[in-house]
Amino acid sequence: MKIRILWMYHDLMDLYGDKGNIQVLKTRCAKRGIECEVDTCTIGEDRDPDDYDLFFMGGGADREQNLIYEDLLKRRDAIQNAMDHNTAFLLICGGYQLFGQYYKDQDGQKIDGLGFFDYYTIAADRDHRCIGNIAVEAEMDGMKFKAVGFENHGGQTQNVASPFAKVLSGHGNTYKSGHEGFMNSQVLATYMHGPLLPKNPVIADILIRRALKKRNGDVVLQELDDTLENKARDVMLERLKIHG
């Protein structure tokens, strides 16, 4: 089996180790004998998202979001087509924001998002960024788990119809919203940098299953020994005084 990953704006949208998510997906596929091909695509390059099983976009500061958003908007129909054909999506922070209605930065400058979802993002003032370690409780594709990450965003994302998780420690979609990210059966959009996947192997495997589904249907993955990965997550949960 094989999965093909499209890594968007790898050179511009990559904050707090987001590229590490790609490495985790490659490693976890390799351990199972699943071929994992990764193509990058930046401004002006021509890739068809429907050729891929997983679409990945990392986070970016306001400057980088302004640099890439017009190029991203030109790809709306092609991304919609991939969505219609079961491509899976992992979107981190700035990438998450740009799949909604718009992003308005702290200077009030508003850039359009792709408008696939009803949420919208308005950045708080410079002194009110959501920064720090974050822990959440999620249920994804029938799996219930706690996850940890790192967030640093001014954006306050509102009107999220189906959040990814409940915040146990940290901020999430807005300063004190209690919820984090957006999720549906194909898209995981989250504020959790870190990168997200090394300490949350259950999410990595869910994404691999979602990616495989496009051309293979439902697949059961061989279990891996995640002792170290889960220990790394548990150390952070402990530090955040989250038990059980």
Candidates 155, 172, 194, 195; binder of ligand GLN (CB under 6 A) is 155
Q: Say if CB 83 and CB 114 are below 8 A apart.
A: no
Which lies closer to ligand GLN via its Cβ, residue 53 or residue 105?
A: 105
What is the nearest approach in angstroms of ligand GLN to the Cβ of residue 76?
Answer: 20
The answer to whether the beta carbons of residues 198 and 24 sit under 8 Å apart is yes
Q: Does 195 bind ligand GLN (CB under 6 A)?
A: no
Residue from 24, 123, 136, 147 that binds ligand GLN (CB under 6 A)? 123
- Tell me the residue number closest to ligand GLN, measured at CB: 59
Residue with tokens 């409940």, as numbered in its chain = 166
Closer to ligand GLN by Cβ: residue 94 or 181: 94
> What is the smallest separation between the CB atom of 187 and ligand GLN, expressed in angstroms?
16
Question: Looking at this protein, which amino acid is placed at residue 180?
Answer: E
Which member of 62, 71, 112, 234 binds ligand GLN (CB under 6 A)?
A: 62
Please state the closest distance from residue 62 (CB atom) to ligand GLN, in A.
5
Longest Cα–Cα distance of the chain, Å, equals: 49
Task: Count the neighbouring beta carbons within 10 Å of the beta carbon of residue 107.
Answer: 9
The only residue of 25, 49, 90, 94 in contact with ligand GLN, by rule CB under 6 A: 94
**If binding is defined by CB under 6 A, does position 65 make contact with ligand GLN?**
yes
Q: How far is the CB of 218 from ligand GLN (least distance, A)?
A: 32
Q: Hunting for tokens 């059980």 — which residue is that? A: 244
Contact between 154 and ligand GLN (CB under 6 A)? yes
59 binding ligand GLN? (CB under 6 A): yes
61 touching ligand GLN, by CB under 6 A: yes
DSSP 184: -
Q: Closest distance between ligand GLN and the C-beta of residue 199, in Å?
A: 18
Active site residue 193: yes
∠ at Cα 151 (101, 111), nearest 5°? Answer: 25
> What is residue 193's DSSP assignment?
B
Q: Is 113 in the site for ligand GLN (CB under 6 A)?
A: no
Q: How many CB atoms lie within 10 A of CB 217?
A: 7
For residue 143, CA distances in Å to 47, 64, 147, 187, 202 come to 33, 34, 12, 16, 8
Confirm or reject binding of residue 149 to ligand GLN (CB under 6 A): no
Q: What is the DSSP string of 197-233?
A: TTT-HHHHHHHHHHHHHHHH-S-PPPP---HHHHHHH
Helices 62-74 and 76-84 cross at an angle (nearest 10°) of 70
Please tell me the count of residues contacting ligand GLN according to CB under 6 A: 13
Per annotation, catalytic residue among 41, 93, 130, 153: 93
Which residues are paired to 149 by β-bridges?
134
Active site positions, annotated: 93, 193
Q: Which residues lie near ligand GLN (CB under 6 A)?
A: 15, 59-62, 65, 93-94, 123, 152-155
